[in-house]
Amino acid sequence: MAVQNSTFSTSAKNYAVDARGCMLSLTNNDFSDCAKAVNITKTALSAIVSNNKTSGSIENALGDDQALVQTASVSSLPDVTDFALDIPAPPVVAATKQIFNVKEYGAKGDGKADDTAAFEDAISAAKKAGGGIVYLPAGYYNVTSGLTIPTGVELRGIHEGMHVTTGEGSVIYVTENHGAANEYAFITMEKGSGLRGITFWYPRQAWNNIVAYPWTVSVEGQDCVIRNICFGNTYQAINMAEADCGGHYVDNITGCVLSRGIALDGSTKTGVLMNTHFNITFYSAVWGTKLTDASGAFGSGDMAVALFKHMNANLTAYSFGETVDEQVLFIFNYRARYGMDFTGGFDGKIVGSGVDGSLCGIRVTGSYDNDLVLLNFMDDIVPGETPEGNLGIYVKVDDLSTVRFVASGASSYNYVPSGLVVLESGNLVLDGFDARVTPASGNGAILVKSGSAEVSGIVFQHVGPLNSLGQFSQQSSSASTVDIRVDGDGELSLYSAMARYFFRDDIKGDTLEYNYVVTQ
């Protein structure tokens, strides 16, 4: 159990925290209102109580070998209590309540007839009426050329929440610009337009011979709404990086993306990106539907392996450039080359998000006027190489920029990688961090090449990979196994660390504080 940046209050009779049968980490908390602050019983496995404000008692029945207890506050770590998201209500983009049903304009929705003209006529009628909803009843719509959604118009299908491809519903088949990644997007959204409740499917795509397509959706102005969309087998999903798309509201997005997921840059006012999930299952697990592709072997046992290989070689799931007050909540991706890529200038909040199965989970470069903070972020990597290495977190920012991970963690899947967290330059803060694998090489789970790293409340879990019986094996300590390595140009402030089985460092730079506990 790990608790940080919290305030406790309790009666005089009870301890605020009573540790029994657990690994406990308490850092940067306020126990000022507690006569009895912390009780570490003999049944606790280990404990770190560090950098807390307290005037009450702290009992330690484990002793100094198993528990690190500092009764005085040793530093003033940044406060993250003001980190609540400020998510506005989704804008209403349909300028009128008029409904323009595409079937009333001639659409068949049988997956065979060309419904393009019906869509264009319905959208044109909505525009001429001053706005409205262009409605797609459940069906399979073959649309052979791109569409533009005008201001005040919403293109809406039947789904009113997050959905998967097996839900089908209002499905648009996309076939245009096969093999032409740089052509215009299939859906172009003008400012103040909406897209909602639709599944996009590419029937000419083939999992065993991936073909490029342009962006499915391109946002060309502010105050656009994209909700309840499934990109079943999309090459590139949502582009919000070519125009000022401030005021966007993107929510409940699912699918399998093969090259680019969501790109965001140049947003000049509060935007919302939340509840997104990209995963190969949205492509492969479509049993009982009419959705198929051009592979000739759709759904075979080799499909997942081929998609894993392609996505790990080609996919950047989320890319972030310059934003203002961006609100990011619960975004996720499974399998990519880069799970998240920050190129500089991001301003906002990122909460409760993560990536799994990437070669480089998160890459941060460029400069930032405000701290880039990720709260409750998790990252799991798989074998493979990028120019930065096979890493969970890579940070290379300017000297005035700071990247912070709060109550977060990184790990590797059933193997020992070359590294887990690397700081090339700038400032990195790990405040309550779970490092679930220690590399066997000398690189260190935490490698500070240059710049300054501040680490508090970190836990190194030295277990894995799995043995032949499917059990986690204990990693052994050796001269080549390092938890934290600091090169000569790096600086480290290590306030507290907890390690399972062993702790080893290779520190050549400046180290300010150094406290750790090892548990068996």
> What secondary structure does DSSP assign to 219-249, as a single string?
E-SSS-EEEEEEEEEEEEEEEESSS--TT-E
Total residue count of the chain as it appears in this document: 520
Return the pLDDT at 454: 92
Return mean pLDDT, the chain: 90
CA dist list (Å): 98 to 137, 155, 209, 250, 289: 15, 12, 43, 23, 32
DSSP 43: T
Burial class of 30 by CB neighbour count within 10 A (0 to 12, 13 to 18, 19+):
middle
In contact, 512 and 493? CB cutoff 8 Å: yes
Does the pLDDT at position 75 exceed 50?
Answer: no
**Hey, how many other C-beta atoms are within 10 angstroms of the C-beta on 261?**
26
| pLDDT per residue as tens digits for the range 53-74 | 888 889 999 887 777 787 665 4
Return the pLDDT at 399: 95
Q: Does 419 or 512 have the greater pLDDT score?
A: 419
Per-residue pLDDT band at 137 (split at 50, 70, 90)? very high
Q: Does 123 or 442 have the greater pLDDT score?
A: 123
In contact, 435 and 409? CB cutoff 8 Å: yes
CA distance 443 to 449: 10
Does the pLDDT at position 516 exceed 70?
Answer: no
Residue with the two structure tokens 């799994």? 356
| pLDDT per residue as tens digits for the range 457-491 | 888 877 766 667 766 666 777 767 788 989 888 99
pLDDT mean over 446-458: 91
Query: How do beta strands 472-474 and 446-460 pair?
Result: unpaired
CA dist list (Å): 513 to 51, 116, 295, 450, 495: 12, 66, 58, 18, 5
Does the pLDDT at position 356 exceed 70?
Answer: yes
Return the pLDDT at 82: 60
Q: What is the pTM of this model?
A: 0.90
Q: Does 48 or 343 have the greater pLDDT score?
A: 343
pLDDT mean over 241-258: 97
Return the pLDDT at 246: 96
Percentage of the residues of the chain whose pLDDT score is greater than 90: 65
CA distance 270 to 257: 26
Mean pLDDT highest for which of 7-21, 77-91, 290-304, 333-347?
333-347
Return the pLDDT at 3: 84
Mean pLDDT highest for which of 228-237, 378-387, 469-478?
228-237
Per-residue pLDDT band at 224 (split at 50, 70, 90)? very high
Q: Using alpha carbons only, give the angle 272, 184, 258 rounded to the nearest 5 degrees.
A: 65
Query: How do beta strands 463-466 and 472-474 pair?
Result: antiparallel
Q: Using alpha carbons only, give the angle 239, 241, 246 rounded to the nearest 5 degrees.
A: 100
Cα atoms in the 13 Å half-sphere on the side-chain side of 41: 9
Per-residue pLDDT band at 422 (split at 50, 70, 90)? very high
| pLDDT per residue as tens digits for the range 284-323 | 888 778 898 999 888 777 999 999 999 999 999 999 999 9
CA distance 414 to 495: 29
| Secondary structure element (H or E) that encloses residue 329, with its range | strand 326-342
φ, ψ at 454 (rounded to 5°): -120, 120
Per-residue pLDDT band at 338 (split at 50, 70, 90)? very high
| pLDDT per residue as tens digits for the range 98-122 | 999 999 999 999 999 999 999 999 9
Mapped onto helix, strand or coil, the DSSP state of residue 11 is coil
Per-residue pLDDT band at 88 (split at 50, 70, 90)? confident
**Of 484, 409, 483, 457, residue with least CA distance to 23:** 457
CA dist list (Å): 160 to 157, 315, 478: 8, 28, 55
pLDDT mean over 202-210: 96
- Residues ≥6 apart with Cβ < 8 Å to 407: 2, 4, 375, 376, 431, 432
